[in-house]
């Protein structure tokens, strides 16, 4: 029997578009490196999502690239052409078969794209290489016409998501990718309408939001949600600060979006900069957003008690990422009062039981500190 202390996690939520989620828990968008080379979804990927779609209210997919030169990872699935619609539909159907709503995360990798995945055409707001993740190649600065084409690509991929049966899209404006790059003082050194002042650095993110929400208004024949994911601050100098992000979030809260989604590694983290470094980043964001938009809180939410803390802080929804890889039955175990049996570690022998694609499993086993990995035959 469910512990009543966790009842709020399992309450239904209705978003502004009319989309109804059967609880407040969502699967966070996570790259799984498992798609075919041509950008179509693979059987391994479908099995991975099928295993994780039965408990949560919604699954936000790994990011899909909207433009030919936007592919950010090997093994990433594409949404950049109409030929991809049937592949996208397979994934939506798989998520629906578990009972969750399917939300397609859409993005362009910008300067983070490996040159070999984009025929060497690495692009960004300006010709400035990344200093993060060990540095990167120097990208080519996009022309005004190319910028408008990419904005249009976000709209076209949204149309494909509608046609493929998804329940929504999430605009990926976080984690160093192209939308983030336009907002950043590190990667955006432009002096036209797409860069310079804080307001001009917001122009590309807000143009993508307008394009996507316009397409939904014109094309969707059912409740169809649009979310926006953002990072709170940058580690680099120059780089955007939390004050910059609060200004962007204040604008986003007035847009016809269904939710905002912060990208955090830990929901208890405090900002390096900002109006009040004694408060958590989550609290400062919620102070700005108020009741205007639901916020998805995320970041090292391992237990139902921690998920309740994220709700208590004011978040409307809680995203589970690594937790659902380690424990695909996380939500069901909370529902059934079996939270004590939630798996918290993975071992080399667990891949088949957890239904994790090979490339992702290899990363889990070999990237130190990313996942709680135990030695073979050690207790869970």
pLDDT, tens digit, for every residue of 13-58?
999 999 999 999 999 999 999 999 999 999 999 999 999 999 999 9
Neighbours of 86 (CB within 10 A): 12
Do residues 85 and 42 lie in contact, with contact meaning Cβ atoms separated by under 8 Å? no
Burial class from Cβ neighbours inside 10 Å (0-12, 13-18, 19+) for residue 338 reads middle
* CA–CA separation, 60 and 49 (whole Å): 10
**Residues facing 59 on adjacent strands:** 27, 102
| Strands, E assignment, 37-97 | 58-65
Whole-angstrom Cα distance, residue 334 to residue 90? 29
Catalytic residue among 49, 65, 177, 259: 177
User: H or E stretch including 106?
Assistant: strand 101-107
Question: At residue 98, does pLDDT exceed 90?
Answer: yes
**Structure-token pair, residue 198:** 């804080």
Q: What is the H or E stretch that residue 247 is in?
A: helix 242-252
Separation in Å, CA 149 to CA 28, 167, 207, 339: 28, 25, 11, 48
String of DSSP letters for 164-197: TT-SEEEEEE-TTSHHHHHH-TTT----STTSSS
Average pLDDT over residues 217-223: 98
227-249: pLDDT as tens digits = 999 999 998 889 999 999 999 99
Does 337 have pLDDT greater than 80? Answer: yes
The arrangement of secondary structure in 4-329, i.e. its CATH architecture, is: Alpha-Beta Barrel (3.20)
* Start and end residues for every CATH 3.20.20.70 domain found in the chain: 4-329
Task: Determine how many CB atoms are found less than 10 A away from the CB of residue 186.
Answer: 23
Q: 378 pLDDT exceeds 70?
A: no
Instruction: State the sign of the Cα–Cα–Cα–Cα dihedral 47, 265, 274, 186.
Output: negative
Q: How far is CA 166 from the centre of its chain?
A: 15
Q: Is 177 a catalytic residue?
A: yes
Measuring CA to CA, how many Å separate 73 from each of 45, 70, 110, 121, 321? 15, 9, 11, 14, 18
Q: What is the pLDDT of residue 376?
A: 64
Q: What SS3 state is found at 101? A: strand
pTM over 0.95: yes
Per-residue pLDDT tens over the stretch 69-87: 999 999 999 999 999 999 9
User: What's the rounded mean pLDDT across residues 130-145?
Assistant: 90
Which is higher by pLDDT, 149 or 378?
149
């Amino acid at each position: 029997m469910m512990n009543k202390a966790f009842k709020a996690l399992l309450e239904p939520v209705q978003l502004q578009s009319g989309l109804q989620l059967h609880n407040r828990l969502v699967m966070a968008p996570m790259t799984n490196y498992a798609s075919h080379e041509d950008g179509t979804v693979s059987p391994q990927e479908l099995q991975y999502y099928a295993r994780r779609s039965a408990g949560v209210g919604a699954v936000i997919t790994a990011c899909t690239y909207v433009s030919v030169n936007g592919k950010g990872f090997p093994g990433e699935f594409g949404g950049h052409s109409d030929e991809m619609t049937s592949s996208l539909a397979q994934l939506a159907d798989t998520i629906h078969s578990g009972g969750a709503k399917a939300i397609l995360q859409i993005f362009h990798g910008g300067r983070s794209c490996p040159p070999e995945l984009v025929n060497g055409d690495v692009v960004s707001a300006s010709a400035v290489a990344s200093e993060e993740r060990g540095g990167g190649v120097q990208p080519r600065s996009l022309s005004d016409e190319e910028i408008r084409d990419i904005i249009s690509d976000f709209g076209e991929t949204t149309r494909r998501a509608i046609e493929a049966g998804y329940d929504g899209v999430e605009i990926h404006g976080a984690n160093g990718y192209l939308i983030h790059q336009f907002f950043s003082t590190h990667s955006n050194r432009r002096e036209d309408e797409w860069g310079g002042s804080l307001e001009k650095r917001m122009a590309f993110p807000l143009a993508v939001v307008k394009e996507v929400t316009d397409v939904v208004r014109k094309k969707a024949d059912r409740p169809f949600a649009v979310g926006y994911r953002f990072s709170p601050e940058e580690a680099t100098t120059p780089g955007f600060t939390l004050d910059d992000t609060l200004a962007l979030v204040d604008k986003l809260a007035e847009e016809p979006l269904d939710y905002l989604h912060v990208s955090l590694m830990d929901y208890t983290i405090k900002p390096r900069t900002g109006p009040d470094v004694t408060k958590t980043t989550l609290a400062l964001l919620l102070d700005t957003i108020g009741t205007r938009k639901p916020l998805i809180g995320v970041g090292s939410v391992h237990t139902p008690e921690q998920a309740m803390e994220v709700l208590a802080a004011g978040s409307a929804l809680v995203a589970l990422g690594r937790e659902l890889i380690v424990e695909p039955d996380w939500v069901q175990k909370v529902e059934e009062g079996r939270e004590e049996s939630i798996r918290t570690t993975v071992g080399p022998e667990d891949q088949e039981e957890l239904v994790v694609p090979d490339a992702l499993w290899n990363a889990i086993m070999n990237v130190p500190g990313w996942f709680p990995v135990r030695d073979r035959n050690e207790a869970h």
